[in-house]
């Protein structure tokens, strides 16, 4: 064993003297129970919301149609709701896993990183909402049929709407992943140049 290894062990061993707050176990057990309660409540709310949505859609169809066949506008509306749901789910999901990546890229200038995350969020929601507005239909397309009910062509169109936004966001984030390290590098260089200029001014 080398002298450095011995020194390290001695230095780390002194941490054994660092005391832990006596009520930590109590806090942990309380936090675990609270988390469990919160998650159970959330699961119940989500299950109730899903059930309510199914009942609402089923009842609406039954009342308006006398069966489960749909008018074209109902599928259009459901697809729009699905697009909004994707937008609200994907945004936080991407932010959660992208935050550490951005932190690494902008570790030299975290303020820029923070702004980057906020601006990316804005761009993300703008793209999503613009896409939903641009692809929404307010009257039945002639290619879908003439009786006003859902046809295979409309189902294909709605599937393409959902697939389209996923493809757009996927490509944009793919580009972002590739380009971001270069942008981060440029920002770091700018920062260094600024610091060097300041040093030169101080010397003058």
In sequence order, the 6+-apart residues with CB closer than 8 A to the CB of 148 are 71, 72, 140
**Residue 122 interacting with other proteins (CB under 8 A):** no
Nearest to 132 by CA among 124, 122, 144, 142: 124
Q: What tokens appear for 146 in the block?
A: 């003439």
* Angstrom distance (rounded) from CA 183 to CA 191: 12
Does 110 participate in binding other proteins (rule CB under 8 A)? Answer: yes
Comparing CB distances to other proteins, the nearer of 163 and 181 is 181
Residues in 17-46 that interact with other proteins by CB under 8 A: 17-18, 20-21, 24-25, 27-29, 31-33, 35-36, 39
Per rule CB under 8 A, is residue 16 in the interface with other proteins? yes
Q: Which listed range, 58-66, 110-118, 149-157, 178-186, lies at the site for other proteins (CB under 8 A)?
A: 110-118
User: CA–CA separation, 10 vs 31, rounded Å?
Assistant: 34
Task: Of 151, 150, 164, 143, give the one whose Cα is nearest residue 82.
Answer: 164
- The binding site for other proteins (CB under 8 A) comprises 2, 4-5, 7-12, 14-18, 20-21, 24-25, 27-29, 31-33, 35-36, 39, 99-100, 102-104, 106-107, 110-111, 113-114, 117
């Amino acid at each position: 064993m080398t002298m450095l290894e011995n020194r390290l062990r001695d230095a780390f061993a002194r941490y054994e003297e660092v005391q832990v707050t006596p009520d930590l176990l109590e806090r942990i057990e309380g936090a675990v129970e609270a988390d469990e309660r919160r998650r159970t409540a959330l699961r119940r709310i989500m299950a109730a919301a899903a059930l309510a949505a199914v009942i609402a859609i089923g009842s609406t169809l039954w009342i308006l149609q006398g069966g489960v066949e749909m008018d074209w506008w109902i599928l259009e509306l459901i697809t729009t709701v699905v697009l909004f749901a994707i937008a609200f789910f994907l945004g936080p999901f991407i932010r959660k896993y992208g935050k550490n990546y951005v932190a690494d890229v902008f570790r030299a200038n975290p303020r820029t990183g923070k702004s980057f995350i906020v601006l990316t969020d804005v761009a993300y929601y703008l793209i999503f909402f613009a896409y939903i507005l641009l692809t929404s239909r307010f009257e039945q397309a002639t290619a879908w049929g003439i009786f006003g009910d859902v046809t295979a062509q409309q189902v294909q169109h709605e599937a393409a709407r959902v697939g389209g936004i996923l493809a757009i966001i996927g490509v944009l984030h793919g580009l972002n992943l590739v380009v971001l390290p270069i942008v981060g590098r440029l920002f770091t260089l700018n920062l260094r140049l600024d610091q060097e200029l300041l040093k030169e001014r101080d010397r003058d």
